[in-house]
Amino acid sequence: METDTIANISTPLGFGGVGVIRISGPRSLEIVLKLLKREQKITSRRVHHVFLKDREGKSLGDAIVIYFNKPKSYTGEDVVEIQTFGSPVLMNKILSEIISLGARLSKPGEFTERAFLSGKLDLVKAEAINKIVFSESEFELYSAVNTLEGTISRRVKNWIEELTGIHSQIEGSISFPNDVEEPDKREIEKRVKEILKEIEELVREYEKEKGFIEGVNLVIFGKANVGKSSLFNILLKEERVLVSKVPGTTRDIVSEKIFINGIPFKLMDTAGVIVKVENEVDRMAIDKSKEALSKADIIILVFDGSIPLSEEDHTAVSLVKGKNF
């Protein structure tokens, strides 16, 4: 475990009413006390109104300081949070003073890494925090919060404890056959199969939620100049893709993220179906379209209903036929 003291700005950079600077490590409180304009006792888990100064004694305004002594903190170390005005210039100045007093700038995710290494968080919860911070939909947010509250961790912990107990029973009966009663093999087999079934069910639940969290791949496909790009723009509600009567306007995959009823969709516009390959660009366009189709969760096939199906239409159908979604 690292023994140095780290610091960084915890709130998003930009102008705002409040900005937070977090310090973690053995020298956290010592460093903050040196920033105070006048001597003041800082006690753990209390809100303190303070006035800050730089190394030359110039005022940096007032702030709120909260000290969390170890191990009752996010990282499990001594942690101090400084809440000040959300001015990037002011926050960077305070951070610079903290660094000059012996802390170092934290690496990305280092506060959570320390929480994990000190046993304050398990890996599942650490990942959940990251998902909460970067969640793009309510479904993703609620799923991450549910994980953070320990729903999955508790299930996994119970399985580990139970399987460890079974392992100990078996090992004990082999190592000390005269002292340890031989466990019921049928009962052990039954319970192990039940645990395996529960694990498989958890994996299925994750796979079911995966699309709602990471995004559903929705591919628009069909022959050239049939209206794929127009549909793409309509769904996106903006003129993202150039629309022309000239066939083959779209050659590469164009993708954008949209939200429908809170569910993220990765919308992909593809090149039109090319039956006769005339050059390398045509071949590359075909390969890109096939790659998009292979990753698709949903495919929208576009046809021109005013005319009979063409050779290109039939080719489009054959390329998606038999796909399991």
pLDDT tens string 217-241:
899 988 887 888 888 888 888 776 5
Instruction: Quick: pLDDT tens for 172-204.
Output: 888 888 777 888 888 999 999 999 999 998 888
Domain 122-210 has CATH 1.20.120.430: yes
Rounded CA-CA distance 273/311 in Å is 10
Give the per-residue SS3 of 286-313: HHHHHHHHHHCCEEEEECCCCCCCCHHH
What pLDDT score does 73 carry?
Answer: 95
Q: Which two tokens mark 270?
A: 């593809």
Which numeric CATH code is attached to 216-320?
3.40.50.300
Q: Under CATH, domain 6-117 is a member of which superfamily? A: Probable tRNA modification gtpase trme; domain 1 (3.30.1360.120)
CA 199/CA 183 separation, integer angstroms = 23
Cα–Cα distance, 68 to 8 (Å, whole number)? 16
Confidence of residue 11 (pLDDT cuts 50, 70, 90): very high
**Domains 6-117 and 122-210 in one fold:** no
Which pTM value belongs to this model? 0.55
The pLDDT score that the predictor gives to residue 325 is: 52
Domain ranges of the chain: 6-117, 122-210, 216-320
